[in-house]
Chain A
Amino acid sequence: MSYTVPKLADFSAAALDSAVRELVSALEQESAAVSSENDWKAFRDRWIARKNGILTQLNDLWLKAAPGPNKRDVGQRVNALKPRVEQAVDATLARIQSGVSSGKLAAERVDITLPGIRRPLGAEHPVIKTMNEMIGVFRNLGYSVEEGPEIETDFYNFEALNFPPNHPARDTQDTLFIAGQESKPLRDRLLLRTHTSPVQIRTMQKMKPPVRVVCPGKVHRNDALDATHSPIFHQIEGLAVDTSITFCDLKGTLDHAMKAMFGSSVKTRFYPSFFPFTEPSADVQISCIFCDGKGMRDGAPCRNCKASGWIELLGCGMVDPNVYGFVDYDPTKVSGFAFGMGVERIAILKYGVDDIQLFFQGDVRFLEQFG
C-alpha cells in the first residue's frame, strides 16, 4: 500500500492527468484487495475519513497548493474524484457483502472434523426394553396389560396357584418373607411375590372370561446377587381363558410369539414339565438363535445352546382346574393357558450379557451400550 498523495510542483493539465491516473489506479488496486469487512473499514477510512483521508489530503495538497490560475482546473478535478472515490468505497462494500468473496468464506472456514456439540440421550435399560418389546408382541395378539402388588399374600402367591401348604413345590420358589407375620393365618402372611402369577389370580377375580392378559413385573427370590443369580428379576406372564382354549392354541400362540420376538425362522419345541398351577405343563425351547439350531457355529460347538441347537426360554401349560376353583370359574365350561418367562434371561440371550449383576448396578458404562 504505497500510494501517498504527492505534493504537486507542476499543475499543468498533463501533470494533473498523470496524478489523477495514478490515484485512480491506486484506488482500484486497493479496492480489489479488500476481502473482509475490517479491510473495508480501513480502506474507507484511508480514502474518505474526514480527518486525513486521501480526499481530504487532496484539498490540502493539491487544491490549496495550486497557484491562482490553476485553482479552477484543480478544483474541478478534485470534485470529480470525490464521487468516484465514494462510489468505489460503496462498491467495495457491496462486493464483500454480496458473499461472493472466496476470501471471506475461506476466512470463515471451520475444522469440520472436530467433534460436534452433542446432547447425549439417555439409554433404555435392556431389561425394560426387552419387556416392552415382549408386551408389544402380545398386545398385537389381543392381550391387555395387568399389574399387581410386589408384596403378596401367601394366598395369591401360592395357595390360589395350587401350591398347598407344606407342598415340596414351594421349596423351588426360594421365597423372601416379610417379618412379623406369625400371628396371621398362613394364607394372609406377606411375602415378596416369587412370580407374577398372582396377577393372573387377581385378574380372574375381577373379570369373567374371555380373559387375555399379560402381567409384566418385578419378582423376588432369596438368591444372593452373583454373576448368575439375582434376588430380583422381571417376569412376563400371560393368561388366556375362554370357552374353548386348547393345548394346541397354547402351542400356536407361543410359537407365533417366539417368531415375532426372535425372527420368523425360529422353531419351538415343547416338552413336559411341572408347575402346580398348570396341567398339562410344558417347557418351551426355541431353536438356537446363535447357530440357527445347528449346534455348531464357525466350526465349533455353539456355546449359547451347549451345542444342542435349542435354548430353553419359558414355562407354560393349561390352567389347572384347581386354580379356577379359587376364582369362581367353572372348569367344565372354560379352559385356558398360562405362560411365563424371565425377562433378564431373554435380555441376556439377546445382548450376550454374561453377568446378571450388570442389570442392577446402574453402571453408566454398561447402560450406555443400549442407547
Chain B
Amino acid sequence: MKISPHWLRDFVDLPVDYARLADELTLAGIAVESVSGEGNNTVFEMDITTNRPDAMNHYGVAREASALYDLPLKPIAPKLPPSEGKSDVTIDIQEPGLCPRFTAREIRGATIRPSPANIASRLQLIDQRPISNAVDATNYVLWESGKPTHVFDLDLLEGRRLIIRKAQAGETLKTLDGVERKLSADDLVVADAKKPVGLAGVMGGFDTMITERTKNILIESAWWDPVTVRRMSKRHGLHTDASHRFERGADFESTVVSTNRVAELILNSGGGTLIGNVIDVIARQLDLAPVELDLREVQRILGEKLSTLEISRTLTRLGFTMLPGSEDTYLVHIPSWRLDIEREIDIIEELARLHGYDKFANTLPAYIGEVRDLPDAHKDERLRSSLLALGYNEAISLTFISKADARRFSTAAELDLANPLSDEASVMRTSMVPSMLNMLAYNLNRGTDNVRLFESGNVFEASGTDAMPRELKRISIGATGSVDADVVRGLVSGAAARPFSFFDLKGDAETLLAPFSHWTLYYDAQLHNEKPDSKKSADYYHPGRYARAVLDGTTVAQFGQIHPDVATARKLRQDVFVAEIYLDQLYQHDLREARYEALPRFPAVERDFSFLFNDGVEFEKIHQSVSGLAIAELRSFVPVEIFRGEKVGAGKYSILMRARLQSSERTLRDDEVAQWSGQIAQALEGLGGAQRA
C-alpha cells in the first residue's frame, strides 16, 4: 500500500521532512517500509498491520501524524450544491445482521469523462490507474478516507431499488473483472428488483457499471459484516481493496460522508444534479462499547507511569474521548473507525506506541524459579556429539515425503496433507529413510562421492480418529564412499582408502548404543517389522547386509546396505548404507553411569584358536557356545582374523580367535589354562569346526 505524504498535508500541517516522518511513523507502529521519489512526488510504501484498517488510507495516516506531533487534524467536509427534488430510489435491507447500514445518493445528468489532472495524478502517484471521473471518485475516496464505495449506472438498475439479500442458488453475477460467478445461498448480494448487481463488500457487477454512456448515477456506501465478506472473498478467490478493508472492519459512521465526498468529486468534474437527500438506511446501530481505563493498570503493564496529560492528549488526538471516573479510572469512548479497540489493554497499547517504545527503560525481571532441561536432553547431546565425532555431518531435510515413499519405507498409517506443496511432499514422513536417500543422491549427483550424514527428527503416524497423531523421534544415518578417503596410499605401511562397509556402519551403531545401560544387546538379521503381524518389512535393505539391534528385547535400531534394486531405482550409483535409530525406544533406557572397577593385579593369558567352519556357522553362535562354558576367568573371546578363499575351499571359512583369561585373585596356572583351552576347542568342534595347525 502506498501513501503520498504530500496528500497528507490536506489534513495536517506536517512539521518534519518526509524522511523523518517515515521514521517516526514507523516507530509509532505505522510502518513505512521504504521511501521513493522526491518533493511532492515522494511515495511511502506502507506495511500497515492487519488490525489497523483505519490507517490504510491518507486520512488515517494523517490522524496518526496529528497525534504524533500533537497537531490539529482537518475534517473531511464535502461541499455540495443544494439538491433538487426527491429521490425515489429505495433501499431494502433484508439481512440487517450482515448489512446494518446502507447509504446511497442519486446524481442525474452527469458527464462521464476522464478525471481532472489533480485527481488523476494523485491516483497515479500511488499506483492507481485512473478510469473515469465517477469510478476515480470512489477510488479517490477509498485512498483518502479508507471507505470503499461503489457507483452504479442508475438507468441499468431495474425497479429503482436496491435489495440487500442472500443470493439464491443458481443465480449468477458477472463481476467488474468480467468473470461470470456462480452464486450460492452463502453469498450476500446487492440486487436490483430482478438480479444481483454486486457481491457485497467485494466487487460490483459488470452489467450495471459506469460507462461513457452513463448519465444517472447511484452512489453506494455500506457497512458489511467482516466475516461474511471474508468468506465470500475466499470462496470466489477475489481479494479486492474493498474486501481487504471490509473484512478488517470499516468505519460505521463514515457511510454518509464518504457518499457525499464521492458526490462532490463527481459533480466537480462531471457536472450533474444532486437529487434529494442522502438515503441512509440504518438497520441496526453499531456502537463501540466504551472502555474503562485504570491508570494503575497502565503502569502495571508498561512498567512506567505516564502522565495524565500525555494520556489524555494522545487519546484525544486519536479521536477518543476520555471521561473521568472514580479514582484513577477513566471511561474512554472509542471512535467509530477503531474496531480494534475493545479492551483496556488495547488502549494501553495506543499509549505505549505513541509514547515511543524506545523511551521505556530496559529492566530485567527477578527470577528465583528452577531451570529445567528437556528430559532427554543429555541423551540427545550424547548421541549428537558421538555422531559428529564419528564424522557424520548434521543435516535437516523437509518433513514431507511422497505417498509412494511412505508406503515403500514404512508400514505405518501416513497423514496426508490437505494442501500439499507437491506430490513429492504430499504426506508427513513416516520414515526418515527416503529423505536420507534423497540427500545422499543429491551429493552423489554433485560429484561428492564420499558422504556421511545424520538427521534427527520426528516421523508421524496417524492414530485413532480422535487421538493426536504419534510423533516418534528418530535418527537416520547415511553413509557412502570410502573410509580414509583422503589418506595417501603407501604413506605408512597399509595406508589406503577402502570402501565404506557394513561393518563400518555396525561399528558406528555399536558406538552409539554402547552408552545406554542394558542387560542384553544383540544384533540379528531378522527383518524388522514395524508391526509384528505385518508381512511388510524393512525389505529396502540388502537381505544379506542388514541387521537390527535388540536392546533388552526391544528393537532400537536397524541398519544395513540399501537394497541394490532400491538404490538403482533412486539413481544411486554406488553402494549406500543407512541406519535408523528409534529414539522413542532407545530413550526408555538411561545412559550408563560411569563406575570405577579396580584394575586387575594379575596377568592375563591369551590363547589363540584357529578353526575352519562351514559358512553357515555365525560368529554369534560360536560366541554363545564358548560363553556357554561359563568359564569365569574368560574375560573375552574375540575373532582376530577371518579368511575365505581357495585355500580353505568353497563354503568354508577360517577364523583365528583369541581367548583372554584372567583372574582377579591370582595368577593362572598352566594346567588350568590348558584345561579351559581344551574345553573351548571342544566347544568349537561341537559346532563342526576343524582345528587348523
Q: Specify the chain A residue showing the minimal Cβ separation from B344.
A: A321
| B interface list, Cβ under 8 A from A | 26-29, 31, 49-52, 227, 230-231, 247-248, 300-304, 343, 345-346, 348-349, 352-353, 357-358, 360-365, 367, 369-374, 377, 387-400, 415-422, 425, 428, 436, 438-440, 442-443, 446, 448, 451-455, 457-458, 460, 466, 468-469, 471, 484, 486-488, 491-492, 495
* A359 CB–B CB distance under 8 Å: yes
Nearest-CB distance from B301 to chain A (Å)?
A: 6
| A255: chain B residues within 8 A (beta carbon) | 362
Q: Are B451 and A364 in contact (CB under 8 A)?
A: yes
In the complex, what distance in Å separates the CA atom of A186 from the CA atom of B247? 20
| B446: chain A residues within 8 A (beta carbon) | 363, 365
Of the A-B pairs whose beta carbons lie under 8 Å apart in the complex, a sample of 30, sorted by A's number, is A114-B491, A117-B487, A123-B394, A124-B394, A127-B396, A146-B374, A150-B460, A150-B471, A168-B230, A176-B418, A178-B417, A178-B418, A192-B399, A224-B422, A231-B425, A247-B357, A248-B302, A248-B360, A249-B363, A249-B365, A252-B363, A252-B365, A253-B365, A256-B364, A272-B27, A274-B50, A279-B345, A362-B442, A363-B443, A365-B446
| A142: chain B residues within 8 A (beta carbon) | 367, 369, 371
Q: Are B393 and A359 in contact (CB under 8 A)?
A: no
* A144 CB–B CB distance under 8 Å: yes
- Decide: A144 near B361, CB < 8 A? Known: A271-B26, A274-B51: no
Interface residues of A in 133-171 (CB under 8 A from B): 139, 141-147, 149-151, 153, 166, 168-169, 171
Q: Are A122 and B371 in contact (CB under 8 A)?
A: no
- Decide: A122 near B488, CB < 8 A? Known: A168-B247, A222-B419, A335-B301: no
| A281: chain B residues within 8 A (beta carbon) | 349
Q: Are A252 and B399 in contact (CB under 8 A)?
A: no
Most chain B CB inside 10 Å of its own CB: which residue of A149, A181, A247: A247
- Decide: A166 near B300, CB < 8 A? Known: A210-B367, A367-B394: no
Q: Are B419 and A280 in contact (CB under 8 A)?
A: no
* A65 CB–B CB distance under 8 Å: no
9 extra interface residue pairs, beta carbon distance < 8 Å, beyond A125-B396, A225-B421: A122-B390, A122-B393, A123-B394, A149-B469, A150-B399, A249-B303, A280-B302, A362-B453, A363-B443
Q: Are A177 and B391 in contact (CB under 8 A)?
A: no
| A144: chain B residues within 8 A (beta carbon) | 370-373
Q: Are A272 and B353 in contact (CB under 8 A)?
A: yes
In the complex, what distance in Å separates the CA atom of A153 from the CA atom of B468? 8
In the complex, what distance in Å separates the CA atom of A169 from the CA atom of B484? 54
| A292: chain B residues within 8 A (beta carbon) | none
| A367: chain B residues within 8 A (beta carbon) | 393-395, 453
| B389: chain A residues within 8 A (beta carbon) | 121-122
Nearest-CB distance from A361 to chain B (Å)?
A: 6
| A143: chain B residues within 8 A (beta carbon) | 371
- Decide: A123 near B353, CB < 8 A? Known: A363-B446, A368-B393: no
Give the interface size class of chain A. 35 or more
| A95: chain B residues within 8 A (beta carbon) | none
Q: Are A270 and B357 in contact (CB under 8 A)?
A: yes
Q: Are B361 and A231 in contact (CB under 8 A)?
A: no
- Decide: A124 near B388, CB < 8 A? Known: A150-B458, A180-B416, A232-B399: yes
Most chain B CB inside 10 Å of its own CB: which residue of A273, A280, A368: A280
| A44: chain B residues within 8 A (beta carbon) | none
Nearest-CB distance from B472 to chain A (Å)?
A: 11
In the complex, what distance in Å separates the CA atom of A251 from the CA atom of B301? 12
- Decide: A321 near B457, CB < 8 A? Known: A246-B300, A253-B364, A274-B49: no
Q: Are A218 and B487 in contact (CB under 8 A)?
A: no
Nearest-CB distance from A127 to chain B (Å)?
A: 6
| A362: chain B residues within 8 A (beta carbon) | 393, 395-397, 436, 438-440, 442-443, 453, 455
* A118 CB–B CB distance under 8 Å: yes
Nearest-CB distance from B116 to chain A (Å)?
A: 35
* A297 CB–B CB distance under 8 Å: no
Q: Specify the chain A residue showing the minimal Cβ separation from B468.
A: A149
Q: Are A117 and B484 in contact (CB under 8 A)?
A: yes
- Decide: A166 near B231, CB < 8 A? Known: A248-B304, A252-B364, A255-B362: yes
Q: Are B367 and A125 in contact (CB under 8 A)?
A: no
Nearest-CB distance from B425 to chain A (Å)?
A: 7
A-B pairs, 7 with minimum CB distance: A272-B29, A246-B303, A362-B439, A248-B303, A274-B49, A252-B362, A270-B357
In the complex, what distance in Å separates the CA atom of A256 from the CA atom of B376? 28
- Decide: A335 near B419, CB < 8 A? Known: A271-B26, A274-B50, A282-B357: no
Q: Are A242 and B367 in contact (CB under 8 A)?
A: yes
1/0 per residue, CB under 8 A from B, across A166-190: the answer is 1011011000111111000000101
1/0 per residue, CB under 8 A from B, across A212-227: the answer is 1000001010101100
- Decide: A364 near B365, CB < 8 A? Known: A125-B394, A247-B302, A270-B357: no
In the complex, what distance in Å separates the CA atom of A256 from the CA atom of B364? 8
Nearest-CB distance from B67 to chain A (Å)?
A: 13
| B396: chain A residues within 8 A (beta carbon) | 125, 127-128, 232, 359-360, 362
Most chain B CB inside 10 Å of its own CB: which residue of A249, A271, A362: A362
In the complex, what distance in Å separates the CA atom of A359 from the CA atom of B451? 16
Nearest-CB distance from A39 to chain B (Å)?
A: 22
Partner of B418, one of A179, A247, A361: A179
Nearest-CB distance from A368 to chain B (Å)?
A: 7
| B26: chain A residues within 8 A (beta carbon) | 271
Q: Specify the chain B residue showing the minimal Cβ separation from A275.
A: B49
Partner of A166, one of B50, B230, B448: B230
| B443: chain A residues within 8 A (beta carbon) | 362-364
| A218: chain B residues within 8 A (beta carbon) | 399, 457
Partner of A231, one of B28, B302, B393, B400: B400
| A245: chain B residues within 8 A (beta carbon) | 365
* A269 CB–B CB distance under 8 Å: yes
